[in-house]
Amino acid sequence: MTDLTAQPEGEFRAGFVSFVGRPNVGKSTLTNALVGEKIAITSPKPQTTRRAIRGIAHRPDGQLIIVDTPGIHRPRTLLGERLNALVESTLGDVDVIGFCVPATEKLGPGDRFINDRLEDFPRAKKVAILTKVDEASQSEIIDQLTRLGELREWDAVVPVSALTNEQLDVLSDVLLGLMPVSPPLYDSEDTTDEGEDDRIAELIREAALDGVRDELPHSLAATVDDRVEREPNEDGTPGLLEIYASLYVERDSQKGIVIGKGGSRLRDVGERARHEIEALIGRRVFLSMRVKVLKEWQRDPKALGRLGF
Ligand SMILES: Nc1nc2c(ncn2[C@@H]2O[C@H](COP(=O)(O)OP(=O)(O)OP(=O)(O)O)[C@@H](O)[C@H]2O)c(=O)[nH]1
C-alpha cells in the first residue's frame, strides 16, 4: 500500500565551501552570519584569521561546511608560508570556493592575484560573492557585478550583506545547490569541529587585538593552558570554571603595551574576553591571563608548533 502522506524524498546535499578574498573583505563575518553563531573571529584588523575554522550551516535540505582560510597572500615569514600551505591544502579539497569582493572598493591587483590562483583548484565550483552591499549604491553594485563577470565564468554571482542579512538565504541556496548529493556529514547539533579551548583562545586573542596597532596584531597569539572546575555552589549549580590562558607577544616592548599602565589594559581585555567566553560556554568563568614573550615566534618552527600552527 502506498503511504499518501509521505513527502517526496528531496535530495540532501552536503559539502565544503571556503571563502577567499583580500583581508578585511568580510569572510569571517559571512561565515558567522551563515552559521548563525559566533565561530570565526572578526575584527577590523586585516589578516587576523589564522586557523581553518569550520562552521556548519544546517538546513533541512543540506549541510554547508564552511572552511574559513587565512587568506591568500604573498608570504613574508615562516608563519606566512605555513598559512599559504594551509590555504592550498584546504582549497584543493573543497567543493565550492566563494571569491569575496567588497561592493565598496574597485577590483584591484590583490583581487586579480587571488582570482588567477583559483585556476589551481579546478575541482571546486567557483562563486563570486559581492560583500558589504549595504554600504554601496545601486550603481556601484551593478558596476562591480559587471567587472566580476569579466573575470571568469562563475558558477554563480551573488551580492550579499552579512551585516544586514541581505540575500544570505539566496547565497546558501546557491551554495547548497552546487554541493554533491550526500548524507549529512555532521550531527545536527554541531556548529563547528574546532575544540572549545581553541575557540576560547581565539576569543582572548580577539579581545587583545582590539585597539592595538602596527605590527603588534600579527605578533599576538593566545593559548588556553589549563582549566580547573571549582566546587559546585551550595544550591547545586556548577561552580566557576577557572581558565588559565597565555597571551604571547614577540618583544618585551609589546608586553608593556598589552599589559598597559598598572595592568589596566590587560584587565580590560580580560573582562571583555570573559564575557565572550561565558556567552560561548554558557557558564560563569574565572579567567587568568599571563603575558609571555616568545621571541620572533612567527619565524620559529618550534614556537609555531607550541602555539598550534
Ligand atoms: N558594512 C558592512 N561591513 C561588513 C560586512 N561584513 C563585514 N564587515 C566589516 O568588515 C570588517 C572585516 O570583516 P571580517 O569578516 O573580519 O573580514 P575578513 O575577510 O574575515 O578579514 P581577515 O580575517 O583579515 O581576512 C569588519 O569590520 C566587519 O564588521 C557587511 O556585510 N557590511
Domain containing residue 81: CATH number: 3.40.50.300
The number of the ligand 1 atom at minimal distance from the alpha carbon of 100 is 19
Tell whether 71 is in a known binding site.
yes
Over residues 218-222, the mean pLDDT reads 87
Extract the runs of DSSP E, i.e. beta strands, from 22-93: 53-59, 62-68
Of 19, 24, 99, 129, the residue with max ligand 1 atoms within 8 A of its CB, to mutate for a pocket test, comes to 24
Q: Lowest-confidence range among 9-23, 198-212, 290-304?
A: 290-304
Q: Lowest-confidence range among 189-193, 228-232, 240-244?
A: 189-193
Over residues 264-273, the mean pLDDT reads 94
- 245 shares a domain with 110: no
Residue holding cell 524524498?
A: 9
Please give the distance, rounded to the nearest whole angstrom, from the Cα atom of residue 212 to the centre of ligand 1: 17
Q: 169: which 3 cell numbers?
A: 538565504
Please give the distance, rounded to the nearest whole angstrom, from the Cα atom of residue 72 to the centre of ligand 1: 16
- 285 shares a domain with 165: no
Q: 55: which 3 cell numbers?
A: 562552521
- 211 shares a domain with 245: yes
Instruction: Supply the pTM of this predicted model.
Output: 0.65
- 39 shares a domain with 92: yes
Does the structure show a pLDDT above 80 at 221?
yes
pLDDT at 193: 58
- Specify the higher pLDDT residue, 192 or 266: 266
| Enclosing H/E stretch for 286 | strand 285-293
Tell whether 233 is in a known binding site.
no
Nearest CA to ligand 1 atom 9: 26
Residue holding cell 600579527?
A: 218
Amino acid occupying residue 42:
T
8 Å CB contact between 140 and 132? no
Confidence class for position 76, pLDDT limits 50, 70, 90: low
Q: Of 225-229, 244-248, 296-300, which one has max mean pLDDT?
A: 244-248
- 132 shares a domain with 90: yes
d(CA 227, CA 298): 27
Measured from CB, residues less than 6 Å from any atom of ligand 1 are: 23-29, 42-44, 46-49, 71, 131-132, 134-135, 161-163
Neighbouring C-alpha atoms within 13 Å toward the C-beta of 21: 26
Residue holding cell 590562483?
A: 117
Tell whether 246 is in a known binding site.
no
Last residue of a domain, one of 177, 206, 240: 177
The total domain count for the chain is 2
d(CA 53, CA 207): 18
pLDDT at 75: 58
Residue 99: which of 15, 14, 17 has the closest Cα? 17
Does the structure show a pLDDT above 50 at 71?
yes
8 Å CB contact between 27 and 53? no
- 80 shares a domain with 23: yes
The number of the ligand 1 atom at minimal distance from the alpha carbon of 25 is 19
**Edge-to-edge strands, sheet with 221-229:** 221-229, 241-249, 285-293
User: Could you tell me the residue range of the domain that residue 49 belongs to?
Assistant: 13-177
- Specify the higher pLDDT residue, 288 or 68: 288
Q: Lowest-confidence range among 71-75, 168-172, 187-191, 264-268?
A: 71-75
Last residue of a domain, one of 114, 143, 177: 177
- Please report whether residue 166 resides in a domain: yes
- Please report whether residue 222 resides in a domain: yes
Amino acid occupying residue 95:
D
- 170 shares a domain with 115: yes
